[in-house]
Structure 1
Amino acid sequence: MDFVYANENHSTIINEKNGVVFLTFPKLVKAGVCHGFSTRIGGVSEGHLSSMNLSFTRGDDPEKVQENFRRIGAAIGFDAKDLVLSSQIHETEIRKVTAKDKGDGIVRETMPGIDALVTDEAGIPMYTSYADCVPLLFYDPEHHVAGMAHSGWRGTVAKIGAKFVAYIQKEYGSKPENIIAAIGPSICRSCYEVGEEVAEEFKQVFLPEEIPLIMDDKGNGKYQLDLWKANELILTQAGIRKENLDITDICTCCNSDKLFSHRASHGKRGNLGCFMCL
């Protein structure tokens, strides 16, 4: 499987099982955490949703979406009927998931307005959805806590990654220096042009010396924004050690034939899924 890589990091593992291609992260694999990030490959959806669309809100046949969830679950290693789905709104609300929540979003309606999920209970697969935004994955091996946060530009400005770290510190006693984390496939700096309004939001929350690290000023009111670097700064400043952090080198927009990208498709696309299960 030939992906276009944004750099020489190669910290994303490409997996294939029964025709389903998904991505994993070395440090989480080494820690023994069941997780994966879907691609477009291996599902049954058609047209611009082909083939592994994992959203019920993009106009797809619900039965095909259910089959896609079943296939990706079988490939990664969880039972799709137990999934807990997020219902994301680019905010910073975190939901603690327990066994009673199994099936939320799959067999019944899910709680709205959630951009992060977390649990310390085994056997509860969790799902967050993407099509250019940044998936953040977390695992605390000491307290056996796993979770994910959806971090688009709004979530990044709001530093949802740091809020997630603070949340599991408070709720589970997690220590940031023990957390294993990953920044997953999303749009890269070269592909992500933003305007002055978005750039100004970042200038308000990042230090002046950090701005050149996360943003290139093109001089015409346009900027190239690096959400990977911005989230790396957020997570390491929250106490996560660099040696415990995998940062992807796969851009959704550069690989829009294999990954759904909102920008590359001008909104005509399905959704990718990120999954974790203890």
Structure 2
Amino acid sequence: MEPFAHHNQSYFSIRNWMEMNPGLVAGLTTKKGGSSIGVFENLNMGFHVGDQVEAVCSNRNKLANLIQFPLNHWVGAEQTHDTVIRKITKADRGTGADTYDNAFKGTDGFYTNEEGILLTLCYADCVPLFFISPDHRMIGAAHAGWKGTVNEIARKMVEKWREEGIAPNQIFVAIGPSICEKCYIVNDYVINFVENTLEDVEKKPYNTIKAGQYTLDLRELNKMILLKSGVPEKNIQISKLCSSCDQSEFFSHRRDQGKTGRMLSYIGWKETSE
């Protein structure tokens, strides 16, 4: 079953997580219902793509109102396709929320066990990873393009949580809307990294089209890495929504030839005092 449900034209939410965890908000925005124009039409959430800052702030405020999570409680990152993951506290709130200038530098993952913080990251084909351990009130998010994926940002999140006393079998992961294997064609250079990451795995997450050209399933690759890290298969759910196939819903870096907006993944616990 598709874990991401259309809640509003502007976002998909992880329905079953929110039903089972009162006070949790978690999802991914679409491209609909915002203030941006041109190639960023309409709901561009990325400051770094050349859109008007005022439009991006307006779009972010719209989401803040829709999910009832104030913008000054968000955190955001300058993402670099690396595997740096930061633990966030309330002292960090507002960092990267309404400007790119003070976003967390060189960061592609966040986690926290505090309420009243919205962890946000931007996407336009890369894989959004959402993490939760309800027993520990721990939540996390990671941005996994092919580089972050083969460098195992998913495993690194599991390891961070292990250091916090959370066993892999207590972690649930949702792998979000992103580019599907049919739309994601890669070369030998990328596949060599994939092979190194999965050297002891028989089933491969790619198919050969012809010499030097392959279709790669990044979502399946992330699932394999999570399984290898000890997260049970029953704890992992994968979206079938494709950012490239579905032009009406999503921005796609590949489809739109680099000139496009960004969706935003978000996850946070609302403050119980609210």
Same-fold status (TM-score > 0.5): yes
Match of 2:264 in 1: 273
Give, in whole Å, the separation in 2 of the partners of 1:106 and 1:149.
Answer: 17
Determine whether 1:139 maps to 2:132. Answer: yes
Q: Is the contact between residue 4 and residue 27 of structure 2 (CA under 8 Å) also seen in structure 1?
A: no
Determine whether 1:248 maps to 2:205. Answer: no
1:181 shift after superposition: 1.2
Per-residue Cα deviation, 1:128-175 (whole angstroms, up to 9, x for no partner): 1100000100011111111101111001101110110110110x2112
Give, in whole Å, the separation in 1 of the partners of 2:232 and 2:65.
Answer: 32
Per-residue Cα deviation, 1:20-55 (whole angstroms, up to 9, x for no partner): 421122442233221110000111111110100001
Match of 2:115 in 1: 122
Q: Is the contact between residue 134 and residue 150 of structure 1 (CA under 8 Å) also seen in structure 2?
A: yes
Give, in whole Å, the separation in 2 of the partners of 1:145 and 1:220.
Answer: 44
* Number of corresponding residues: 265
Determine whether 1:177 maps to 2:166. Answer: no
Structure 2 letter corresponding to 1:98: T
Determine whether 1:199 maps to 2:191. Answer: yes
Give, in whole Å, the separation in 2 of the partners of 1:189 and 1:256.
Answer: 16
1:76 shift after superposition: 2.2
1:111 shift after superposition: 2.1
1:208 shift after superposition: 5.8
CA distance 1:238–1:209, shift in 2 (3 Å): closer
Q: Is the contact between residue 39 and residue 259 of structure 2 (CA under 8 Å) also seen in structure 1?
A: yes
**Is the partner of 1:162 in helix, strand or coil?**
helix
1:209 shift after superposition: 4.3
Structure 2 letter corresponding to 1:146: I
Determine whether 1:42 maps to 2:33. Answer: yes
Give, in whole Å, the separation in 2 of the partners of 1:36 and 1:73.
Answer: 12
Give, in whole Å, the separation in 2 of the partners of 1:204 and 1:85.
Answer: 31
Give, in whole Å, the separation in 2 of the partners of 1:190 and 1:77.
Answer: 36
1:252 shift after superposition: 0.2
Per-residue Cα deviation, 1:87-138 (whole angstroms, up to 9, x for no partner): 1101100111111111101256122000001111100111111000001000
Match of 2:75 in 1: 84
Q: Is the contact between residue 125 and residue 243 of structure 2 (CA under 8 Å) also seen in structure 1?
A: yes
Match of 2:63 in 1: 72
Q: Which of 91, 96, 103 is 1:105 aligned to? A: 96
User: Percent of aligned positions with the same letter in both sequences?
Assistant: 33
Q: Give the TM-score, by structure 1 length.
A: 0.91
Match of 2:272 in 1: none
Gap runs ≥5 in structure 2: 270-274
Gap runs ≥5 in structure 1: 1-8
Match of 1:215 in 2: 206
Structure 2 letter corresponding to 1:199: I
**Is the partner of 2:219 in helix, strand or coil?**
helix
